[in-house]
Amino acid sequence: MKRLITASVVRAEHAAGTRRIAAPRGECIVTPEARTTADQLGIVLSEDAAAVAAADCPQKPPSDSDLAAIRAAVLARLPKGSVPDDVVDQLVRKTVDEQRRKESGAESAAADSADSAPEAAYEAQKIAHGIKLVKGASVRLGLFDGAGRENQVGIADVVTAEDGSAMAAGLMSWEKCFFPWTLNYDEVDFVIEGELHIRCEGQCVVGKPGDVIFIPKNSSIEFGTPSRVRFLYVAYPANWADC
């Protein structure tokens, strides 16, 4: 079973002092709110399995065979017998130290890049009492892991509990795919473009631009479209991904 990483998990890891959470693709599902929360708290979600494995395996000191190979390489560049053994040993140590510095510098640069604050997913303006305007044309969708990465379903949360809201709202968009989903929360969808098909127990409703669809809590459905769709969703409660 895949591990579910929610906003609550991210907050708990942050409280424990964690700066990086291992979330390899294929083993974990990361909710959209978890990604937003991680961005806000400065936590890196490591989704590359190779990088996670490398992080779990600390660098080992060079073995005797490694040192012997370095020594042989150094001696090959020097006239035979021209340099005392202690000088050769110093050159070997210098070569090892330089290699470690290079590797350490590469790791530091990668960490700095990963830890840098990501660009906001949309442009927004806030005024008094927490009123928030989201520029719809600026919203950039990320992948919704719950639909399977092969389906390329896009999602972006634009209102969350972080805004002090009891509800969540966001945008979703994709083309030519259906995927199953069980809602442990209430949801209202407003279709902006294309067709939104909701299948449940052998029946189906089709929402078109301007239509509103209500999906009650505990519904097991299929979301999908045979063409393309873009819609606004409003979910209650705001922490729908943790329900």
Report pLDDT digits (tens) over 140-150.
998 888 888 78
Residue 5 has pLDDT above 60, yes or no: yes
By three-state DSSP, how is residue 195 classified? coil
d(CA 221, CA 154): 18
Give the pLDDT of residue 1. Answer: 57
Give the pLDDT of residue 99. Answer: 67
Tokens of 23: 């979330």
- In this prediction the pTM is 0.57
Residue 177 has pLDDT above 80, yes or no: yes
The partner residues of 146 in beta bridges, in order of sequence, read none
Percent of the chain with pLDDT over 90: 41
CB-based contact 235:168 (threshold 8 Å): yes
- Enumerate domains of the chain plus CATH numbers: 59-115 (no CATH), 120-242 (2.60.120.10)
CB-based contact 59:107 (threshold 8 Å): no
Give the pLDDT of residue 115. Answer: 42
Helices 85-115 and 64-76 cross at an angle (nearest 10°) of 110
Q: What is the mean pLDDT of the chain?
A: 81
Q: How much is the average pLDDT of 157-164?
A: 92
d(CA 61, CA 69): 14
Sign, Cα dihedral of 109, 37, 168, 177 = positive
d(CA 26, CA 18): 22
Q: In angstroms, what is the C-alpha Rg of the chain?
A: 26
CA nearest neighbour of 140 among 166, 120, 121, 126: 121
d(CA 68, CA 85): 13
pLDDT tens for 179-230 read: 999 999 999 999 999 999 999 999 999 999 999 999 999 999 999 999 999 9
Range in 120-124, 168-172, 231-235 with the lowest mean pLDDT? 120-124
d(CA 239, CA 34): 10
pLDDT band at 23 (very low <50, low <70, confident <90, very high): confident
Greater pLDDT, 241 or 122 = 122
Length of the chain: 243
Greater pLDDT, 128 or 58 = 128
Q: Which helix (H) or strand (E) holds 8?
A: helix 7-15
φ/ψ of residue 48, rounded to 5? -85, 120
Tokens of 111: 């960490």
Give the pLDDT of residue 82. Answer: 66
Please enumerate in sequence order all residues whose Cβ is within 8 A of that of 108, keeping only pairs 6 or more positions apart, or say none.
none
